[in-house]
Each structure stands twice: as structure tokens, then as C-alpha cells.
Amino acid sequence: MIHLQGVSKSYSRGEHAVLACAVDRLDVEAGEQVALVGRSGTGKTTLLHILAGILCADAGEVAVVGERLDQLGEAARDRHRGRHIGMVYQTFNLLQPFTALENVLMGALFGRGAAGDARDRAEALLREVGLADRMHHRPAELSVGQVQRVAICRALINDPELVLMDEPLGNQDRATGGQVLDLMLKIASEQKKTVVMVTHDPASAERMQRTVDLATLRGQEAAT
């Protein structure tokens, strides 16, 4: 499902290049649920964005859901993401003027399904995460936990094989966060989805099948 080899990404800061992310090798099998951990600033968000094809690595092999993203242009990567990858952003990125239902449906614009089915599916997802009575609320009228659940529904609307989540439970109390994670993992298991979730919460990481520490993925060269 995922195969990375010799991947690195730097940002230039004036004359200096800052290494944001380096992965010697990473493999994730289809159906695996992986927690991605590491201190703040170690490149977790950068790595998720490379996996999603939002960012392009400077070097290395990036194979995700059957495509070599490092060999595709931006438009092709966007299309691939719309069809195969669901992303829950660290900051959720919901569109404020639109309702919860509309935000979830927005995700379907980039997918492969028919529009008519999308509405039924969006409503079913929102019901499943306990937002049956909040579908027509805008993000500002929802709690942080509810916004996170809407973002998860939007990530799932195209029935992606791979779900990427960037600390999706970071702003919730443990009970609520645990419930959302339970729900997410239940949906993922039932539908045999592969999940990579960035988290700094050890209890959340423990719920996943495997934990990968970004610090251990760096090649010798990058570590020095």
C-alpha cells in the first residue's frame, strides 16, 4: 500500500536548507493501522503530505496505492488523492460558509462516485459519527470534537483505500477522542482500509496495530 525509499524533503530558509523530513525506508501493508509518532518538528505532517501527494519529495521513491507519486505531476497526484486517499488535516480545513453536510459532500467532488450516491453516503457517515442532528450546522456552530468528526466523514466520503490522519484527536478530551478513534478504527476495519495516523497520545498509538517512530526511519546520512 505504501513503499518509501530514500525519501527526503527540505525547505529553503534564506541561504540554508532545513531538512523537514527524511525516511530511509517505510513499508505499510494493505489493511494495516499504523500510528506515526515523533517529537514536534520531526516531519510528521510533512511525511503525511508527501504520502497524500500534496507535497513532492526532493528525492526518493514514493509508491502509494499503486502509483509512484514521485513520477507524477501535480494534477495527476491530485486526481490520485481524490480517488484513493482520505485526509484528515491537523487543522481540519473545513470551509466555514458551508454546513457539515456540504463540507462532507465537497470531498465527493474529487472522487469517483456518482453525485446522487454521495449525498446518501454523506448523511449515513454523519449519522454514524453521531451528527444526525448537526448536518445543517456550519463549523462555527459546532464543537471542536464535532468539527473533527465532520473532517473524518469528509475523508471517508470517497471510500478511499488509504486514510491519513494528522493528530485528529489532539484537541479533544480523552473520552471523546477515544470514542472518535474507536469509531474510525471500526469503520476502517469493516471496510479494510489502511490507516496512518499521526498522534502524540500513547493511548491512541496503542490502539493501532503498529507504531512507527519517525526518528528511527531516518537514514544514517540524514541523522548526522
Ligand X SMILES: Nc1ncnc2c1ncn2[C@@H]1O[C@H](COP(=O)(O)OP(=O)(O)O)[C@@H](O)[C@H]1O
Residue 11, contacted partner among Mg ion, ligand X, none, CB below 5-8 A by kind: ligand X
Residue 18 interaction partner, one of Mg ion, ligand X, none, beta carbon < 5-8 Å per kind: ligand X
Which range touches ligand X (CB under 6 A), out of 18-26, 59-67, 154-162, 183-191?
Answer: 18-26
User: Nearest approach, Cβ of 150 to ligand X (angstroms)?
Assistant: 22
Q: Cβ closer to ligand X: 37 or 65?
A: 37
Q: How many helical (H) and strand (E) elements, i.e. helices and strands, does the chain have?
A: 9, 9
Nearest to 221 by CA among 60, 88, 63: 60
| Cβ atoms of residues 192 and 199 within 8 Å | no
Q: Would you give the binding string for ligand X spanning residues 28-67, x where CB under 6 A is met?
A: ----------x-xxxxxxx---------------------
The residue written with cell numbers 459519527 in the block is 129
Shortest spacing between CB 168 and Mg ion, in angstroms: 12
Contact between 20 and ligand X per CB under 6 A? yes
DSSP letter assigned to residue 15: T
Give whole-number Cα distances, 158 to 27, 82, 162, 185, 204, in Å.
Answer: 24, 7, 11, 17, 25
Binding site for ligand X (CB under 6 A): 11, 18, 20-21, 38, 40-46
